[in-house]
């Protein structure tokens, strides 16, 4: 009703390990909306770049792969799923090498064009909570429901460690915020929430309160 296409989109952006995935997933569950993790698509393409032996520093080769790679995104039980090159890349998306190279691959403009088009298609048929870096600024700039979830760098590093991952999040944040093609920014009309001292339920509660005030009907 309030966003491009006939469906409602709630945009959740923020830096790495800000807690936005847990928040977006729980919010989608509470609203009965589909949950879409856009970062997983950039990770899937990065995984394929590495599998094919393409250098993540070769934008022309990445662009060729992005133009030809069969990548499809669907929903299963309200959750986004990906198939790339005929396989489900989910088990590989958090590999160290993917963490290390995803910012480089996602800075290639043609990669963004292709994936943004795929992401927009979800809203043709579903109400969505979509998380990422440019959802409120580029993918669905018309939605009135934009949130930017942040947390202190220390807390974010600790969260990644607790997940057992090696992820140089400050390097990723720097690359994601400074790239030329749709960098991570806080959309002018986004509501910013610092999750450093909040639980997932606390952040979700704050978002739901704001959605209600903006007139969205929330299931009991
Ligand atoms: O949300 P995440 O940490 O899994 O995202 C991985 C990377 O994907 C992130 O460092 C940058 C890229 N990304 C992006 O460029 N745009 C998005 N909407 C989502 C992720």
- The 10s digit of each residue's pLDDT in 149-192 is 999 999 998 888 888 877 788 888 899 999 999 899 999 999 99
Residue 182: which residues within 8 A CB-CB, separation 6 or more?
112, 116, 133, 134, 137, 138
What does pLDDT average to over the chain?
92
Q: Evaluate: CB of 19 within 6 angstroms of ligand 1.
A: no
- Summarize the confidence of residues 25-29 as an average pLDDT: 96
Question: Ligand 1 in contact with 134 (CB < 6 A)?
Answer: yes
Predicted confidence at residue 216, as pLDDT, reads: 94
The answer to whether 101 touches 50, Cβ cutoff 8 Å, is yes
Please report the pLDDT score of residue 56 as a whole number.
Answer: 97
Q: Per residue in 109-150, pLDDT tens?
A: 999 999 999 999 999 999 999 999 999 999 999 999 999 999
**Alpha carbon nearest to ligand 1 atom 20, residue:** 39
Q: Is 124 exposed, middle or buried (0-12, 13-18, 19+ CB in 10 A)?
A: exposed
Position 55 scores a pLDDT of: 98
And the tokens for 178? 């400074």
Distance 211 CA to ligand 1 centre (A): 25
Q: What is the pLDDT of residue 83?
A: 93
Q: What pLDDT score was predicted for residue 34?
A: 95
What per-residue confidence (pLDDT) applies to 170?
86
CA angle 208, 139, 34 (to 5 degrees): 45
Centre of ligand 1 from the C-alpha of residue 13, in Å: 10
Non-local CB neighbours of 11 within 8 Å, separated by 6+ positions: 130, 132, 135, 136, 139, 140, 143, 145, 146, 147, 187, 190
Q: Which atom of ligand 1 is nearest to the CA of 21?
A: 1
User: What is the rounded CA–CA span in Å between residue 74 and residue 36?
Assistant: 9
Question: Which 8-state DSSP code applies to residue 83?
Answer: E
99 lines ligand 1 (CB under 6 A): no
Is residue 172 lining ligand 1, measured as CB closer than 6 Å? yes
Total-model pTM: 0.93
pLDDT score for 165: 76
**Window from 39-43, 95-99, 141-145, 163-167 with minimum mean pLDDT:** 163-167
pLDDT at 172 (0 to 100): 87
What is the Å distance from ligand 1's center to 105 Cα? 10
State the distance from the centre of ligand 1 to the C-alpha of 42, rounded, in angstroms: 6
Mean pLDDT of 62-87: 89
Per-residue model confidence (pLDDT) at position 2: 43
pLDDT of residue 4: 46
98 lines ligand 1 (CB under 6 A): no
The C-alpha atoms of residue 67 and residue 130 are separated, in whole angstroms, by: 24
- The arithmetic mean of pLDDT across residues 200-219, rounded, is 95
CA-to-CA separations, 167 to 69, 96, 154, 196, in angstroms, rounded: 26, 7, 13, 19
CATH number of 9-213, picked from 3.40.50.300, 1.20.1260.10, 3.40.50.10420, 3.30.390.10: 3.40.50.300
Which DSSP symbol is given to 91? G
What was the pLDDT predicted at 84? 94
């Amino acid at each position: 009703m309030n966003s491009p296409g006939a469906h409602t989109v709630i945009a959740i952006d923020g830096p790495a390990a800000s807690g936005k995935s847990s928040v977006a997933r729980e919010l989608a569950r509470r609203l009965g909306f589909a949950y879409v993790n856009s970062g997983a698509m950039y990770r899937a393409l990065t995984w394929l770049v590495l599998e094919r032996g393409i250098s993540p520093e070769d934008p022309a080769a990445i662009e060729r792969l992005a133009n030809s790679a069969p990548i499809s995104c669907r929903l299963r039980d309200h959750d986004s799923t990906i198939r790339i090159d005929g396989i489900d890349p989910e088990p590989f998306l958090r590999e160290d090498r993917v963490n290390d190279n995803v910012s480089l691959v996602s800075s290639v403009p043609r990669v963004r064009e292709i994936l943004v088009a795929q992401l927009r298609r979800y809203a043709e048929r579903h109400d969505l909570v979509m998380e990422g870096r440019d959802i409120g600024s580029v993918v669905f700039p018309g939605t009135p429901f934009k949130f930017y979830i942040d947390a202190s760098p220390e807390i974010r590093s600790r969260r990644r460690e607790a997940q057992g991952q090696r992820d140089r999040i400050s390097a990723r944040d720097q690359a994601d915020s400074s790239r030329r093609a749709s960098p991570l920014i806080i959309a002018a009309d986004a509501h910013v929430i610092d999750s450093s001292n909040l639980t997932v339920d606390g952040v979700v509660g704050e978002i739901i309160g704001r959605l209600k005030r903006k007139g969205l009907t929330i299931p009991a």
